[in-house]
Amino acid sequence: METSFDILKFICDDLVGLEKDFLSPSSIDFVPQAQVPIESASALSNGRPETQISPSMQVSSSSDDLEEEIARRMESREPQCPICYDVAGKHFYYGVQACISCRGFFQRSVRNRFHLKFKCGKGTQNCSITARSRKNCKWCRFQKCLRSGMKTCYVMTHDQSGLPNKTKPLLPIKAMVKTANLSQTFTEHEVDKALSIYKNLLSFGYRSYYQLFSKNEQEFMTFLRALNETGGSPSMISEAFTETNKQATINYFFSIDDMASLSPFDRMTLISHNFPGIFGLLWSVYSYTPDLCKFYENFLEHGYEFRHHEPEIDKILLVFEANQLLGEKPKNLSIDVTFRSHSATQDLIQRHDSLVHEVNSGLRESTQGSADYVIVLLLSHIIMFASEFAVSLQDKPKIQATQEKYLVLLHRYLRTHYQGRARAKLSETMMIFEPCRQVFETFHERIFKARPPGGIF
């Protein structure tokens, strides 16, 4: 019987001959163009709460009294609830320094699952939310809670025994933020570099698909035949899908120095524990691209069937996807796949969708806008070098240092590109951690209609 590690070793051995015609591994190590004075982390974390209103928070209907109200709150230097502009409480609630009432509203909504039933009364989905109007539209208020960074996963369910929690999800994140040393600038050059590395990460994904479809043609045909015989079982598609993504993740991360310098044991441990987070992150970003939304929706809803029973069609599909994701003009292709019906519960679908939304809300300024791929790239590295799990690592300090390196990069980037909102954006980004894993879980539930069998490996 093969163990997880045996299988991983097999995959790793298989990678030895892989040519590396992409960016050199060390290119992920950004070198600042110029040394700038380092601002102390404590100064940042003790700074005044952000009072600036972000564009995305601004309400579209601009009545005068509302603007006055906002202006007044900005002037009075009290902490302000980002949702309704009321006076905020002293503490963070579910990840946001909100007012008591928005905290209560969010808690009740999530705990009783009311939020799944909210609808915007006007249907415009952009009702203004102020201290006075906040009761009017639950849907818009709840969305604003999410946009401001509140996380549903911090609301404990009844089965978590109601005690103030043993696991305090925010504390590790805050600790990380505090320990980060900052230098301030993130040059355009580095942004370009980060974007090209992101493309590199993506192309590893597509290379894995090609490997699945071309190198192992024999295997793939067996897979196709099995699909026919079982009526295109979605679980098999999902398995293959997850498997290729796993390989891509391994391919990419094993090609960077930070990972290559670790012991095989640590590498395997990191990959097996953190792959779900990476998968959830990338899946959420991919499936949120408007042009791909429809395809993925269908994929999740129904699974799909290879109409021509040829690998070719799927290669084309993936090329199409890759072109979209890499921002190149898609070829004029008509995709010929049929969707095969299978059912997931409405509740599960909603949970999955809202998790994907949660991940994306931290990566985009609006539902129309594209994700900030620099954040995606850096976050994926921060996730990969996470070490907060039970299994003991051989070189934990080094792994923590690596994670911190990427955290500092992220922080620097945010300070350069989001200025006053950097701090809020950072905590917003770090909040994505948990939902990413949950996206992986719900993705599998949705496809398998059950838990993923036997863990990750």
Binding mask 116-155 for DNA (x = CB under 7 A): ------------------xx--x---------------xx
Query: Nearer to DNA by C-beta: 28 or 102?
Result: 102
Q: In this complex, which beta carbon is closest to DNA, that of residue 158 or of residue 331?
A: 158
Supply the minimum distance, in Å, between the C-beta of residue 164 and DNA. 3
Query: Are 227 and 306 within 8 A, CB to CB?
Result: yes
Q: Which position among 30, 85, 94, 320 is part of the footprint of DNA (CB under 7 A)?
A: 94
Beta-carbon-side half-sphere exposure of residue 169 (alpha carbons within 13 Å): 19
Distance CA 129, CA 147 (A): 13
Least Å from the CB of residue 216 to DNA: 46
Give the range of 33-41, 67-75, 93-101, 286-294 binding DNA by CB under 7 A. Answer: 93-101
Buried b or exposed e, range 307-317, using 16+ CB within 10 angstroms: eeeebebbbbb
Out of 101, 185, 298, 350, the residue judged to bind DNA by CB under 7 A: 101
Q: What share of the chain is helix, strand, coil (3-state, %, to 5)?
A: 60, 5, 35
Q: Which is nearer to DNA, 104 or 290 (CB)?
A: 104
**Maximal C-alpha separation, the chain:** 71
245 within 8 A of 205, measured Cβ to Cβ: yes
Which of 72, 77, 91, 308 lies at the binding interface for DNA (CB under 7 A)?
91
Nearest distance in Å: CB 134, DNA: 6
Min. distance of Cβ 426 from DNA in angstroms? Answer: 14
* Beta partners for residue 305, in sequence order: 338
User: Given the complex with DNA, which of 114 and 265 has the nearer CB atom?
Assistant: 114
Task: Look at strands 337-339 and 304-306 and give their pairing.
Answer: antiparallel
**Assigned token pair, 35:** 């040394």
φ, ψ for residue 404, nearest 5 deg: -65, -35
Q: Bridge partners of 39?
A: 182
Residue closer to DNA, measured from CB, 208 or 427? 427
Residue 270, token pair as written in the block: 């990191």
The distance of closest approach from Cβ of residue 149 to DNA in the complex, given in angstroms and rounded to an integer, is 11
Q: Which of residues 154-173 bind DNA (CB under 7 A)?
A: 154-156, 158, 160, 162-166, 168-171
Of 62, 71, 114, 225, the residue at the interface with DNA (CB under 7 A) is: 114
Residue 12 touching DNA (CB under 7 A)? no
Angle at 440 between CA 436 and CA 443, to 5 degrees: 130
170 vs 182, which CB is nearer to DNA? Answer: 170
Q: Which residues, numbered 300-339, are part of the site for DNA (CB under 7 A)?
A: none
Tell which residue, 170, 376, 177, 402, has the closest CA to residue 270. 402
CB of 157 to DNA, least distance (A): 7
CA 321, CA 61: separation in Å to the nearest integer?
38
Lookup: tokens for 149:
């960074």
Smallest distance, Å, CB 165 to DNA? 5
**Contact between 104 and DNA per CB under 7 A:** yes
44 near DNA (CB under 7 A)? no
Give every CB contact of residue 113 below 8 A, 6+ residues apart in sequence.
Answer: none
Cα separation, 204 vs 247, whole angstroms: 9
- Per CB under 7 A, contacts with DNA among 170-189 are 170-171, 174-175
Comparison of 134 and 381: residue with beta carbon closer to DNA = 134
Query: For residues 175 and 221, which CB has a smaller minimum distance to DNA in the complex?
Result: 175
d(CA 89, CA 171): 18
Give the helix ranges, DSSP H, for 62-158.
64-75, 100-111, 138-147
Measured from the CB atom, the residue of 59 and 409 that comes closer to DNA is 59
Distance CA 301, CA 384 (A): 29
Q: Is 108 in the site for DNA (CB under 7 A)?
A: yes
Query: Distance from CA of residue 454 to its chain's centroid?
Result: 24
Q: Which stretch binds DNA (CB under 7 A): 52-60, 70-78, 96-104, 435-443?
A: 96-104
Q: Of these, 90, 294, 329, 331, which contacts DNA (CB under 7 A)?
A: 90
Our CB check for DNA shows the closer of 107 and 416 to be 107
Closest CA to 201 of 369, 372, 432, 22: 22
Q: Distance between CA atoms of 234 and 231, rounded to whole angstroms? A: 9
Rounded to whole angstroms, how far apart are CA atoms 228 and 224?
6
Pick 131 or 349: Cβ nearer DNA: 131
Q: How many residues sit close enough to DNA to count as binding (CB under 7 A)?
A: 37
Determine how many CB atoms are found less than 10 A away from the CB of residue 451: 10
Judged by CB under 7 A, does residue 294 bind DNA?
Answer: no
Of 96 and 201, nearer to DNA (C-beta) is 96
Point out which span in 49-57, 92-100, 189-197, 418-426 binds DNA (CB under 7 A). Answer: 92-100
The residue ranges that bind DNA (CB under 7 A) are 90-95, 99-102, 104-105, 107-109, 111-112, 114, 134-135, 138, 154-156, 158, 160, 162-166, 168-171, 174-175
